[in-house]
Structure 1
Amino acid sequence: MAGRNRMPRYPVNNEPHGFREGPPPPLPRVHGPMPLHPIEEELAMQHDEIRRLLADNRLLFEENVAIKREIAAAKEELHMLSQAIPKVRADKELKARELIQNGLKLEAELRALEPLKAEVLQLQSEAQKLEAVKQEMTAKVQSLSQDLKHLQTENQQVPTLQAEIDGLRQELIRARTACEYEKQANAEQMEQRQAMEKNLVSMARELEKLRTELERRSRGPGAGAYGILNGSPDMGYPGVFGDGYGGEKGRYGTGPWASYEQHGLPRY
């Protein structure tokens, strides 16, 4: 910015102008007429020096004008910057205020979210519990899958089992038929036994009547004719009705009907 629109201090051909440190350069020798008087030579030298000073002054003037232009441009730029700085400051302040407001809003939102932390923690614990339940259900599903495979394998054996069940059912039907037949046979045997018991009871009654009749007759005048039935010891064998009518142990003595006297007829 400082070197903008500024002319160089010396020409491009680097010819010396103006005052310089050290002795002045020697004048070029010109082949011509003989030198004039020393005063005229000194005047000529002064004229040359004046021309050089004028050239240097012109150059300095141009440089001064360029510097003034640069200063004016710098002042204008400073003026523009001075006008822009408040705007920049205002923008910065506005942005800072916006940032502060946003920070306050975020703080308020964070404060409002404080009660939600407990809910978040609870949800996290519930999520962990659900994960555990998920793993447990996955294990159960795997177990059920294995059971299902086992059941499918067993289902493949269902026809064989069904055939076995049908065979067992037929055997059960045959066993039931045989059992019914046996029940009927037992019923017939029971009827036969009851009939035999009735016959035995009737026979026992008849025998009782006969025994009574024999006792009645033994008390009469013809008792000696029935001595054989009394089981006399002289005969060598006991009587049919025990040890005699007077010394019998029971109604039927010790014969095969004594059990019926004590316990009655058997019941089936």
Structure 2
Amino acid sequence: MQHREMQRVLAENRHVIDDNTLLQRELTAAKDEIHRLGQVIPKLRAEKEANIRVLIERGLKLEADLHASEPLRAEVIQLRTEIQKLNSLRLELFSQVQGLTKDINQLQAENQQLVGMRADVDGMHKELVEARRAYEYEKKANEEQVEQKQAMEKNLISMAREIEMLRAEQLNVERRTRGLGFLSFSHFHTRIHADKHIHF
């Protein structure tokens, strides 16, 4: 029993020694890590401070840029206002263009109608020219007919005068020669017919 107890104690001692050895190694590694971190931390701190300085400088620069951009901000606001005005003007011009396009389409339709009307007017003009020609022809023909009628009237008047003269002559002849009245009357009619053929 003592031997077993000694064996157990020895085993526990060995276990403790092993744990101690392991703890020594871990302690050494921890010291090495602490030493390494002790060397790294200043570098990290220096880098952090450098980054902080960079960030501060950037912040100061941004603040300066912000102060410098105040006039630009006012100009941007003015430009936005002008852009809104231009958009309103663009919409107005677009509406006017639509109206003008509608007017142009209407004018083109009216122009097509005018083309048709112009063709009708040209046709009417040609008809008018033909009518004038026909009128001038009829007028000339009527003038010729009037001249012929006037000439016929003159001939009739001249014949009537000759008839009156012949009647007077016949009366004189009848007074002189009552017995030859019938012969003279026949001769008178023959002469009248001859005169009609001559004048007509």
**TM-score, normalization: structure 1?**
0.44
- The residue identity in structure 2 corresponding to 1:154 is E
| Greater displacement, 46-55 / 65-74 | 46-55
What secondary structure sits across from 1:157 in the alignment?
A: helix
Distance 1:63 1:160 in 2: 119
Distance 2:89 2:27 in 1: 83
RMSD: 2.5
Distance 2:62 2:126 in 1: 83
Report matched runs for 1:84-103 at 5 Å. Answer: 84-103=40-59
Report matched runs for 1:4-153 at 5 Å. Answer: 45-153=1-109
Runs of at least 4 residues of structure 1 off by over 6 A?
168-172
- Number of aligned positions between the proteins: 130
Q: Say if 2:113 is the partner of 1:157.
A: yes
The structure-2 alpha-carbon separation of the partners of 1:159 and 1:48, relative to structure 1 and needing over 3 Å to count, comes to: closer
Q: Which runs of 5+ in 1 are unaligned?
A: 1-44, 175-268
Q: Which runs of 5+ in 2 are unaligned?
A: 133-200
Q: Could you list the per-position Cα deviations for residues 181-230 of structure 1 after superposition, in whole angstroms to 9, with x for gaps in the alignment?
A: xxxxxxxxxxxxxxxxxxxxxxxxxxxxxxxxxxxxxxxxxxxxxxxxxx
Larger Cα-atom Rg: 1
Report matched runs for 1:222-261 at 5 Å. Answer: none
Q: Could you list the per-position Cα deviations for residues 89-122 of structure 1 after superposition, in whole angstroms to 9, with x for gaps in the alignment?
A: 1121111111111111111111111011221111
1:159 shift after superposition: 2.4
Distance 1:168 1:129 in 2: 56
Q: Compare relative contact order (CA 8 Å, sep 6+) and give the higher one, 1 or 2.
A: 2
- The residue identity in structure 2 corresponding to 1:57 is N
**TM-score, normalization: structure 2?**
0.58
